Structure 1
Amino acid sequence: MQQHFIYFLYSKSIDRFYIGKTYNLKNRLILHQEQHYKHSFTKSAKDWKIVF
């Protein structure tokens, strides 16, 4: 059984939070920071940090 994560990101530059879920937390954070998800809310910043 594969473990999954619910995560909270925060961007200081836009003062916003984002909640997501994934099976690979480290990789998912990299994808958000590189603005991989072009139609996602997270494309609006590159300074996302995991807060929870």
Structure 2
Amino acid sequence: TTKLGTRPYEVVSVEKVLETDTSGTTSTSDNRLTLYTCVKNQRAYRWCVTAVAK
């Protein structure tokens, strides 16, 4: 929450990607959030979670 309020987001994809995959950080025309986090016991992979503003 900011002084401008809150903005709801909806998760649109969850993908297991290689740790070197940064395709989720490319510029888009919509308002989106991208989260990269570890995959348990799989050092070479990351979860890439993408959410777009509702």
TM norm structure 2: 0.30
> Between Structure 1 and Structure 2, whose CA radius of gyration is higher?
2
Structure with larger RCO (C-alpha < 8 A, sep 6+):
2
Higher-strand-fraction structure: 2
TM norm structure 1: 0.30
